[in-house]
Amino acid sequence: MPADYSRSRRVGELIQRELATLLTREIKDPRLSLISITAVDVTRDMGLAKVFYTIINIDKDNDTVIEHKKQVKQALKKASGFLRYELGQRIKLRVVPTLDFRYDVSIEKGIHLSQLIDNAVSDDHKRSDSEDNH
């Protein structure tokens, strides 16, 4: 049974590499030019691959970001058939998993937590400096 888990993990890593290559070299949709595949989880039966992605370099206001995320999700859904076909040509599997694209919020959460920690450390330094002056 542990071999199944390692096989699905290996297949996930292979799919991740191939999808990254396909997205940078084969897909011409500009909405997909700045995304990164962060992880791929493949089910044990190899029927489904959850593809986690993030959008690189979003420096826009909140409404624009939400709209951009929707457009990227639509573009990925539209390209999923082509991507699955190309994976089938590049990876020798009996069945190529169905691709289920999901936005990866872990990067945003990590950045937010890092900012909170930086703010807390900065506030602590300010407090200790003001106490030293009194």
Instruction: Give per-residue pLDDT as tens, 70-106.
Output: 999 999 999 999 999 999 999 988 889 999 999 988 8
pTM, full prediction: 0.77
CB of 8 closer than 8 Å to CB of 40: no
